[in-house]
C-alpha cells in the first residue's frame, strides 16, 4: 500500500493543485485532486485480473477547470437542483445563483467542485487515504452559514469509500455527493448501455420538464424506471416516459440511515461489477445523455452520449423547497455525516 503526493498544476491565480494517488495491496489505484476533490482515476480488475481505469475524465488540470459536466467532482453545498434558485429556512429567505436556467444546480458555478481543498495523506486500518478540508464562507453562492467541510477518501481492499462531514456556525442546508462517471468496460469510447443495473428502489421522484420534483413520489412498476431486477441501461431507454434518458432520483426501499446497498452494476464483457453503498435515502441515476459527442477525454479517448453513467448518492432533490421530503437542513451544533462506498467484484 502506498500514498503518493505530486504537484499537478497551478491555477491562473497562482494557487497550487496537488494530486494524491492511493495504491492498495492488490494494485488498485485511485487518484484524487485537491481541486474540486476530483476523483481523476480509479482502477478495478476484470475477470482475468487486468486492472484498468473505470472512470471518465481528462488528462490535465486545465481541462477540469474548464469542465461544465462535473466529471469526478465533489458536489456541494447542495447536490442536484434547487427550484427557482431560492429557499426559506427558519423563516428567512435565501437566494442562490441561477446556473441552470432559472434554477440552481450542484452548488452553483463556484461550488465545491471549483474550490481548492487542503489535503493530507492518511493511513487507515482499511487502506491508504486522503483527507480533504474546505471552509465554505457565509453567503458563498448564496448559502447561509460558515460551513467547515471534510471529505475522506479511503482505498479499501476492494473499492473506494468516501466520508463527508460538515458543521456550521449558522443554520444552513447541506446535501453533498460525488459526481463520478463510470464505464466498467474501461472503454468509454463505447457506450455504457449494455451495463446491467439493479437499484433496490420501487419509487422515484416525479419531475417536471426542468427535472424539478413535483412533490409526488411514484411507483416504478411497469415503467422504464423499474430496476428492481437487473436490466441493461439501454433496454428501455428509448421508452423512457420523458424521452430524455435517465436523470432521476430513486428512493431506496430500505430507509435506514446506516450504510446499505443503493445499486449494483455489472458489465458482462469484462466481468467487472460495482456495488454502490450509501447512508443517504436515495440515489440519482444519470445515464450520461448530455455528454457531448466527440468530447476529448483521458488517454486520447473520445466520449459521447452514454459514454458513462453516474450513481450519485444524496438526499432528496430540492428538499429545501419540498415540505414532504426528508430535510437536508443543518443546525448549529449538528454534524452532517454521509458515506458513499464503491465496491468492485468480478464474475
Q: For residues 56 and 181, is the Cβ–Cβ distance under 8 A?
A: yes
Strand residue runs (E) in 24-142: 29-33, 39-45, 51-53, 73-75, 81-82, 86-89, 92-95, 104-105, 118-124, 127-136
3-state secondary structure 225-289: CCCCCCEECCCCHHHCCCCCCCEEEEECCCCCCCCEEEEEEEECCCCEEEEEEECCCEEEEECCC
Given the residues 97, 140, 267, 312, the one annotated as active site: 312
* d(C-alpha 33, C-alpha 65), whole Å: 12
Phi, psi of 176 (to 5 degrees): -90, 165
Identify whether 312 is a catalytic site residue. Answer: yes
Given the residues 179, 195, 248, 306, the one annotated as active site: 179
Q: Which residues lie closer than 8 Å to 121 by C-beta, 6 or more apart?
A: 3, 5, 20, 128, 129, 130
| Closest listed residue to residue 28, CA positions, set 41, 43, 14 | 43
The catalytic residue positions are: 179, 312
Amino acid at each position: 500500500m502506498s500514498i503518493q503526493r505530486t504537484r499537478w498544476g497551478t491555477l491562473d491565480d497562482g494557487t497550487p493543485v496537488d494530486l494524491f494517488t492511493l495504491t492498495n495491496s492488490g494494485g488498485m489505484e485511485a487518484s484524487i485532486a485537491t481541486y474540486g476533490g476530483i476523483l481523476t482515476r480509479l482502477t478495478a480488475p476484470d475477470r482475468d485480473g487486468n486492472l484498468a481505469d473505470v472512470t471518465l475524465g481528462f488528462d490535465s488540470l486545465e481541462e477540469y477547470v474548464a469542465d461544465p459536466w462535473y466529471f469526478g467532482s465533489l458536489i456541494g453545498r447542495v447536490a442536484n437542483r434547487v427550484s427557482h434558485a431560492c429557499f426559506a429556512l427558519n423563516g428567512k429567505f435565501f437566494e442562490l445563483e441561477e446556473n441552470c436556467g432559472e434554477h440552481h444546480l450542484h452548488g452553483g458555478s463556484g461550488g465545491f467542485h471549483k474550490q481548492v481543498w487542503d489535503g493530507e495523506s492518511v493511513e487507515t486500518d482499511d487502506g491508504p487515504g486522503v483527507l480533504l478540508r474546505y471552509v465554505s464562507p457565509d453567503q458563498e453562492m448564496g448559502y447561509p452559514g460558515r460551513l467547515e467541510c471534510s471529505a475522506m477518501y479511503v482505498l479499501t481492499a476492494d473499492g473506494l469509500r468516501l466520508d463527508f462531514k460538515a458543521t456550521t456556525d449558522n443554520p444552513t442546508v447541506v446535501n453533498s455527493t460525488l459526481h463520478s462517471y463510470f464505464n466498467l468496460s474501461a472503454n468509454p469510447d463505447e457506450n455504457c448501455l449494455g451495463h446491467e443495473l439493479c437499484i433496490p428502489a420501487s419509487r422515484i421522484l416525479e419531475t417536471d420538464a426542468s427535472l424539478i420534483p413535483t412533490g409526488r413520489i411514484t411507483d416504478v412498476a411497469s415503467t422504464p424506471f423499474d430496476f428492481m431486477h437487473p436490466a441493461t441501461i439501454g433496454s428501455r431507454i428509448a421508452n423512457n416516459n420523458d424521452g430524455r434518458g435517465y436523470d432521476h432520483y430513486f428512493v431506496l426501499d430500505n430507509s435506514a440511515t446506516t450504510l446499505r446497498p443503493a445499486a449494483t452494476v455489472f458489465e458482462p464483457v469484462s466481468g467487472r461489477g460495482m456495488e454502490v453503498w450509501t447512508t443517504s435515502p436515495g440515489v440519482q441515476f444519470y445515464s450520461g445523455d448530455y455528454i457531448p459527442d466527440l468530447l476529448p477525454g483521458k488517454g486520447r479517448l473520445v466520449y459521447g452520449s452514454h459514454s458513462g453513467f453516474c450513481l450519485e448518492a444524496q438526499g432528496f432533490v430540492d428538499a429545501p423547497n419540498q415540505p414532504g421530503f426528508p430535510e437536508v437542513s443543518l443546525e448549529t451544533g449538528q454534524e452532517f455525516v454521509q458515506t458513499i462506498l464503491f465496491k468492485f467484484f468480478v464474475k
